[in-house]
């Protein structure tokens, strides 16, 4: 059964978003050397290796690894994970890190909307307002129509849709599935699903590239663990605005690694995004949730 510990959920979720932004930066960094779909495969395989290593160290029994009450949802979660990262990582090949992440942030609005019919959660006007305010910040950053819009921008949008459904499925299983079991099925399933495509775009890897993909897998495994724990502690619709924090991480990493200097629009939009998340947190504290 899902607990009601919103601030623990926030801590896990913000940490997960930082790790995810770091993995995105790694993908973009290697995109000039290897195909994004090959990086995706390496990321999933590395995640699976770390998860399997953890199981071996802890001497987990087979039922602690494979036992699930929702095999269909576990497999669906793996499919949605693959679609989320395929579209995002390919998009990052052509789009600045902060821009791609900004477009992906239509996802929290979708999560809040879908949590009502799919999860039966109640979403009040204040949460809707906070999410919409955050979305306004994203529009200020992206400024639709300010540049030529082409098919590449549809990739992070597709990633946002898949990611929203991914988080809904995660919440659907929260409290009924072991965190480790969910993590194992996601990693192993995504590895299997991404292998045929990786073979098609394969190019040889050197030691540095391999090390980066292994590091990305370790960070990704930790991010998924934190996300599952966050959804065990708080509602999807409550945590949704905190997805926006990843934009701040992405902007910082884009500047430090790729020299992308945030514009005034990015700074203004980011301020609105942060304010929307803080508003939700302060309101929930006043209500004693």
**Does 2 have pLDDT greater than 70?**
no
Of the candidates 236, 287, 9, 228, which has an alpha carbon nearest to the alpha carbon of residue 117? 236
Domain count, the chain: 1
Let me know if residue 45 belongs to a domain: yes
Q: Looking at residue 197, what is its pLDDT?
A: 93
Q: Looking at residue 183, what is its pLDDT?
A: 86
Whole-prediction pTM? 0.80
**Does 240 have pLDDT greater than 90?**
no
H/E element holding 45?
Answer: helix 36-58
Q: How far apart are CA 4 and CA 252, in angstroms?
A: 32
Give Cβ neighbours of residue 240 (< 8 Å, ≥ 6 apart): 108, 109, 111, 112, 115, 127, 131
Let me know if residue 1 belongs to a domain: no
Average pLDDT over residues 259-288: 73
Q: How far apart are CA 226 and CA 116, in angstroms?
A: 23
Of the ranges 107-111, 141-145, 159-163, the best mean pLDDT one: 159-163
Give Cβ neighbours of residue 225 (< 8 Å, ≥ 6 apart): 179, 183
Let me know if residue 126 belongs to a domain: yes
Range of the domain at 211: 6-287
Cα distances (Å, whole numbers) of residue 185 to 101, 210, 246, 265, 280: 26, 23, 25, 40, 32
Q: Looking at residue 204, what is its pLDDT?
A: 93
Let me know if residue 153 belongs to a domain: yes
Give Cβ neighbours of residue 178 (< 8 Å, ≥ 6 apart): 64, 67
Let me know if residue 61 belongs to a domain: yes
Let me know if residue 145 belongs to a domain: yes
Q: Looking at residue 171, what is its pLDDT?
A: 81
pLDDT in tens, 185-228: 999 999 999 999 999 999 999 999 999 999 999 998 888 788 88
User: What tokens were used for 218?
Assistant: 């370790």
Confidence of residue 251 (pLDDT cuts 50, 70, 90): confident
Let me know if residue 23 belongs to a domain: yes
Radius of gyration for the chain, computed over Cα atoms and rounded to the nearest angstrom: 18
Let me know if residue 149 belongs to a domain: yes
Residue identified by tokens 């930790």 is 222
pLDDT in tens, 71-91: 999 999 999 999 999 999 999
Fill in the DSSP letter of residue 71. H
């Amino acid at each position: 059964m899902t607990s009601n510990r919103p601030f623990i959920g926030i801590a896990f979720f913000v940490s997960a978003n930082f790790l995810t932004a770091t993995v995105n930066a790694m993908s973009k960094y290697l995109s000039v050397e290897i195909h994004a779909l090959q990086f995706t495969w390496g990321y999933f395989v590395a995640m699976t290796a770390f998860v399997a290593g953890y199981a071996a160290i802890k001497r987990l029994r087979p039922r602690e690894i494979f036992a699930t009450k929702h095999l269909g949802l576990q497999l669906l979660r793996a499919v949605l994970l693959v679609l989320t990262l395929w579209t995002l990582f390919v998009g990052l090949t052509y789009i600045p890190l902060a821009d791609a992440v900004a477009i992906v942030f239509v996802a929290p609005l979708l999560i809040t909307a879908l949590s009502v019919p799919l999860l039966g959660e109640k979403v009040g006007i204040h949460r809707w307002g906070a999410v919409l305010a955050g979305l306004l910040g994203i529009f200020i950053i992206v400024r639709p129509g300010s540049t030529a819009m082409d098919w590449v921008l549809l990739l992070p949008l597709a990633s946002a849709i898949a990611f929203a459904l991914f988080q809904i499925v995660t919440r659907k299983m929260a409290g009924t599935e072991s965190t480790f079991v969910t993590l194992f099925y996601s990693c192993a399933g995504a590895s299997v699903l991404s292998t045929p495509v990786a073979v098609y775009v394969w190019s040889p890897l050197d030691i540095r590239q391999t090390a980066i993909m292994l590091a990305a897998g370790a960070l990704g495994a930790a991010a998924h663990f934190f996300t599952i724990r966050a959804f065990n502690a708080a509602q999807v619709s409550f945590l949704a605005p905190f997805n926006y924090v990843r934009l701040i991480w992405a902007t910082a990493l884009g500047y430090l690694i790729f020299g992308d200097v945030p514009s005034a629009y990015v700074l203004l939009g980011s301020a609105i995004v942060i304010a929307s998340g803080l508003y939700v947190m302060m309101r929930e504290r006043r209500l004693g949730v």
